[in-house]
Amino acid sequence: MAFSSFRYTLRDAFRSIRRHKSMAFASVFTIAISLFVLGSTLLLVVNSQNLVSEMESQVEISVFLHLDVDRKDALALQKDIEKLPGFDSLEFIPKEKALANMQNRFGQDTDLLGALGGNNPLPDSYRIKAQSSDKVTALAKELEKFPEVESISYGKEWVDKLVSFTVMVKNVGLAVILGMLIAGLFLITTTIRLTVFARKKEIGIMKYVGATNWFIRFPFFLEGMLIGFLGAVAAGIVIYFGYGAAINYCLKTIPFIPVVADYDLLFRIVGLLILGGTVIGAMGSVIAVRKYLKV
């Protein structure tokens, strides 16, 4: 394209936005709302995922060893446990500490050890964490196979519920994001189509005077790109500051619920929205114009 053509194109795109202010504003607003809802959904999903993984990390398996396993063998077991699939971390609890814990629970007034005749009936044990809740059951089964292990315990039912909840959050989150994406795309292209429809006469005249399709398309392309960009920036600003405020509020009022206070992630989401909005605006315009180019 010659320089003069490019110059006209640029000027036409800006003039068109200026002369169709209300239409351009409606488009920017629609895009901003769509992307805001999409971005919020994304953050909501990220947070519920985070909540679930927080809960997952608290699932523990208690492994009790046989009483006759001596300390050396008990400690040696650690290496084998660490090799198991799904293993995350462990804590060794010697029988003395287990007894001390129990003593604490009964209170210092009682002489627990004395009552037991000087014998500690408690075994050495491990507290083991799995990488995620869905790996707990498999890990527990592996642990049971060690000859040194007498018994294991973990909240099986609770773990199962957590696993199905995690899966649900993932699926629902994905479905909501996908739905919002489609709804947003549809809304945006419809708005742009309306803007283009209002100017189909202009496109027709351009065809009559012998403008090439690209010459006709390009101002719409630029205009759509600019409108998409502005809408996305508006949505990005609201999300960035809105989420920042929401994090602060949550940390103050409900500190026990973990929120994702990761500004890097927030930046990436806002960046993605701006990129997405710009691309959708440009593509939507070109697609909408195509219909009127067939003269």
Partner 1 sequence: MIQFFNVTKKYDNGTLALDNVSVSIERGEFVFLVGPSGAGKSTFTRLLIREGLPTKGQIMIEGKSIIRMKSKEIPLLRRKIGFIFQDFRLLQDRTVYENVAFALEAVGTPVSEVKRKVPNVLNMVGIGDKYACFPDELSGGEQQRVAIARAIVNNPSILIADEPTGNLDPENSLEIMKIINEINKRGTTIIMATHDSEIVDRMRKRVIVLNKGRIVRDDVKGGYDYGLQ
134 near partner 1, judged by CB under 8 A: no
Pick the piece of the chain touching partner 1 (CB under 8 A) from 2-10, 71-79, 262-270, 276-284.
Answer: 2-10
Classify burial at 5, counting beta carbons within 10 Å of its beta carbon; exposed 0-12, middle 13-18, buried 19 or more. Answer: middle
How many residues form the binding site for partner 1 (CB under 8 A)?
Answer: 22
1 near partner 1, judged by CB under 8 A: yes
Nearer to partner 1, 208 or 256 (CB): 208
Question: b vs e for 127-151, b when ≥16 Cβ sit within 10 Å of the residue's Cβ?
Answer: ebbbbbbbbbbebbeebeebebbbe
Nearer to partner 1, 64 or 218 (CB): 218
Both tokens of residue 219? 């101002």
- CA dist 84 and 72 (Å) reads 20
Quick check: helix, strand or coil at residue 67? coil
210 near partner 1, judged by CB under 8 A: yes
Q: Out of 121, 204, 244, 271, point to the residue binding partner 1 (CB under 8 A).
A: 204
Q: Out of 194, 202, 238, 258, point to the residue binding partner 1 (CB under 8 A).
A: 202
Nearer to partner 1, 10 or 245 (CB): 10
Pick the piece of the chain touching partner 1 (CB under 8 A) from 50-58, 136-144, 145-153, 199-207.
Answer: 199-207
- The H or E element that residue 99 is part of is helix 95-106
Residue 63 near residue 152 (C-beta atoms within 8 A): yes
Rg over alpha carbons for the chain, rounded to the nearest Å, is 31
Q: How far is CA 270 from the centre of its chain?
A: 13
8 near partner 1, judged by CB under 8 A: yes
Q: Out of 146, 165, 215, 240, point to the residue binding partner 1 (CB under 8 A).
A: 215
Nearer to partner 1, 45 or 211 (CB): 211
Nearer to partner 1, 61 or 203 (CB): 203
Both tokens of residue 24? 């351009």
**Segment 112-120 long-range contacts (CB within 8 Å, at least 24 positions apart):** 120/95, 120/96
291 near partner 1, judged by CB under 8 A: no
Nearer to partner 1, 117 or 210 (CB): 210
- CA dist 228 and 274 (Å) reads 8
Residue numbers at the binding site for partner 1 (CB under 8 A): 1-2, 4-5, 7-8, 19-20, 201-202, 204-213, 215, 295
